[in-house]
Amino acid sequence: MKHYLLSIYQPDGPPPPPEFLEPIMRDVNEVIREMKAAGALVFGGGLYPASTATVLTFKDGKMLTTDGPYIEGKEHLGGFDIIQAPDLDAALEWGRKLARAITLPIEVRPFQHNA
């Protein structure tokens, strides 16, 4: 088994209205339940907006603490799931289910060490 990070990329700005979000979250929770039932989910969850992030930089012997996010952009990591899967095709299949439910792009990336 390998570990994969499924990152959810989310546009910055105010969250969509509840009537838009609720059916999506229902679908997402269904996928998460399925991942748990299959023993694929290791850990995951949604993040507060990127404006809540703090960046630590250690440079020239000094620690700098600044307001985040680290990378400025129109989209940020909105949440992630760490899953275990036998190979990339299996991980991509979970990624597809999640992308279909959440209607946002999902990046699938392998961890360096096997589960």
Partner 1 sequence: MAALSQIDIARTFREEYGRAVAVLTRSFGDIDAAEEAVQDAFITAIERWPREGPPPSPAGWIITTARNRAIDRLRKDSSRHERHEQAVLLQANDPLDEDESVHDDRLRLIFTCCHPSLATSAQVALTLRLLGGLTTAEIAKAFLVPEVTLAQRLVRAKGKIRDAGIPYRIPEASELPARLIPVLAVLYLIFNEGYAATSGSDLVRGELCAEAIRLTRVLSSELPDEMEVQGLLALMLLSDARRPARVTADGQMILLRDQDRSKWDPVATAEGLRLVQRCVQYNRPGPYQIQAAINATHAIAASTAETNWAQIVTLYDQLLAIQPSPIVALNRAVAVAEVDGPQTALQLIDPLVVDLDRFYLFHAIRADLLRQLGRNEEAAASYSKAMERCENDAERDFLKRRLTELTSRAV
- Binder among 71, 87, 100, 107 for partner 1 (CB under 8 A): 87
Does 24 participate in binding partner 1 (rule CB under 8 A)? no
Each as own residue / partner, the long-range contacts of residues 32-39 (CB below 8 Å, 24 or more positions apart, any chain) are 32/81, 34/97, 35/81, 35/83, 35/94, 39/84
Question: Nearer Cβ to partner 1, position 30 or 87?
Answer: 87
The CA–CA distances, whole Å, from 64 to 55, 59, 67, 73, 112 equal: 8, 8, 10, 21, 29
**Total residues at the site for partner 1 (CB under 8 A)?**
11
The answer to whether residues 69 and 50 touch, using CB atoms and an 8 Å cutoff, is: yes
Pairing between β-strand 41-46 and β-strand 75-85 as defined by DSSP bridges: antiparallel
- Binder among 24, 47, 77, 92 for partner 1 (CB under 8 A): 92
Which tokens hold the place of 28?
A: 């997402």
Question: Nearer Cβ to partner 1, position 47 or 92?
Answer: 92
Does 44 participate in binding partner 1 (rule CB under 8 A)? no
Only one of the segments 11-19, 53-61, 65-73, 84-92 lies at the binding site for partner 1 (rule: CB under 8 A); that segment is 84-92
Q: Rule CB under 8 A: which residues touch partner 1?
A: 2, 85-89, 91-92, 109-110, 112
